[in-house]
């Protein structure tokens, strides 16, 4: 079989007689292997090499080789990873985030999460009680998947109760201090003025929406029990509402009735529960469709509730036995 040899006269390949070329791929692997070069491939390669060396159709003098344009990798410009940032209209690179900006955003997100947890706890405590409400349910209501969100932001259930009580503690306490100072100027047997110092601030808070209504229910539950096991944070929140001073003056005004400790404690507990739920139910009724009963105006409602509370606390004591 003829072989291709270079012809120096023409600069091209010419066919000359000779032994057949050995196919390395066929000899080594038997039938031509998929990965081994074949005879025609060897000839094509030799043809290209020959054309490049001897003029043929290879590189010509004065001919500029074709340049390869490499695609430049995208450089980050301050945007998120994998996406270029927004260019400045004047061609300037974007200013990197300052540490104080990052910390401000982190604090804002943490504040929003904490407020959602407080709102969820406010609803759950009003519905199920401060001790029976599920912390997991509170976390779900707040839209948090992390079960440890409550412990991260508040430390414990007591810390969450304190955060809920602090929501309107200043409003209730400020108004209560004013009314309690006026009640101290009244005669010692005037208990109605003390009851008004309790009722009026709570009615005003209950008219601030569902948060105020739930707050009244939660506060009414907390002030009826011994809050010492809940820790100093809860005690401080209750003290800011003025509840300690108010009930201390109320017990002092009830002393002439000579009730025993158990009866006095029972009356104060029932009285507080009725007052708190009456205020909360009135606020809830304003959010529901109208019923057959016409709600009283605010001032008349307060006056009627003070009269009912006075009658409850000053009713004759039942006989013992």
- The model's pLDDT over 34-54, given as tens digits with 9 standing for 90+, comes to 545 555 555 555 555 555 554
Q: Which string of b and e fits 79-94 if b means at least 16 CB within 10 Å?
A: eeeeeeeeeeeeeeee
Residues in the chain, overall count: 321
d(CA 237, CA 72): 63
Cα→Cα distances 203→70, 244, 274, 281, 306, Å: 75, 19, 13, 11, 12
pLDDT at residue 243 is higher than 50? yes
What's the pLDDT band for 201 if we cut at 50, 70, 90?
A: very high
Q: Quickly tell me which residue has 């974007």 as its tokens.
A: 94
Across the range 84-105, mean pLDDT stands at 57
Nearest Cα neighbor of 218 from 128, 114, 155, 134 is: 128
Residue 61 vs residue 305, higher pLDDT: 305
Q: HSE-up of 202 (CA within 13 Å, CB side)?
A: 32
> Cα-flanking dihedrals φ and ψ of residue 315, to 5°?
-65, 150
pLDDT at residue 15 is higher than 60? no
pLDDT of residue 80: 47
Q: Quickly tell me which residue has 């032994």 as its tokens.
A: 19
d(CA 26, CA 24): 5
pLDDT of residue 62: 55
**pTM confidence score:** 0.61
Across the range 88-114, mean pLDDT stands at 61
H helices of 192-290, in order, are: 192-206, 210-222, 232-240, 243-254, 261-285
Average pLDDT of the chain is 77
Query: Contact, 197 vs 172, CB < 8 A?
Result: no
Secondary-structure class of domain 113-165 per CATH: mainly alpha
Residue 156: count of CB within 10 angstroms of its CB: 14
DSSP conformational letter for 259 = -
DSSP conformational letter for 2 = -
User: Could you read off the pLDDT of 270-296 as tens digits, one per residue?
Assistant: 999 899 889 988 888 877 787 777 889
Token pair for residue 100?
């104080």
pLDDT of residue 101: 54
The ranges assigned to domains in the chain are 113-165, 168-311
């Amino acid at each position: 079989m003829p072989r291709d040899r270079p012809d120096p006269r023409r600069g091209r390949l010419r066919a000359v007689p000779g032994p057949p070329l050995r196919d390395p791929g066929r000899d080594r692997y038997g039938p031509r292997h998929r990965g081994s070069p074949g005879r025609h491939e060897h000839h094509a390669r030799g043809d290209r090499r020959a054309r490049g060396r001897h003029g043929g159709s290879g590189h010509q003098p004065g001919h500029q080789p074709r340049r390869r344009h490499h695609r430049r990798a995208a450089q980050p410009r301050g945007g998120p990873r994998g996406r270029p940032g927004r260019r400045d209209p004047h061609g300037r690179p974007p200013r990197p985030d300052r540490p104080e900006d990052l910390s401000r955003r982190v604090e804002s997100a943490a504040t929003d999460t904490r407020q959602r947890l407080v709102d969820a706890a406010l609803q759950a405590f009003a519905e199920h009680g401060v001790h029976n409400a599920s912390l997991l349910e509170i976390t779900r209501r707040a839209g948090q998947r992390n079960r440890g969100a409550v412990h991260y932001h508040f430390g414990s259930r007591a810390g969450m109760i304190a955060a809920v009580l602090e929501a309107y503690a200043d409003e209730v306490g400020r108004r209560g201090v004013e009314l309690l100072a006026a009640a101290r100027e009244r005669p010692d047997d005037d208990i109605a003025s003390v009851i008004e110092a309790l009722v009026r601030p709570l009615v005003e808070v209950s008219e601030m929406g569902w948060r105020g209504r739930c707050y009244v229910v939660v506060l009414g539950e907390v002030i009826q029990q011994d809050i010492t096991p809940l820790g100093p944070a809860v005690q401080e929140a209750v003290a800011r509402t003025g509840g300690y001073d108010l009930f201390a003056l109320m017990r002092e005004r009830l002393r002439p009735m000579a009730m025993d400790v158990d009866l006095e404690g029972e009356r104060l507990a029932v009285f507080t529960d009725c007052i708190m739920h009456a205020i909360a139910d009135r606020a809830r009724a304003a959010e529901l469709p109208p019923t057959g009963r016409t709600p009283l105006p605010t001032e008349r409602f307060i006056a009627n509730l003070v009269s009912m509370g006075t009658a409850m606390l000053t009713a004759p004591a039942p006989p013992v036995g």
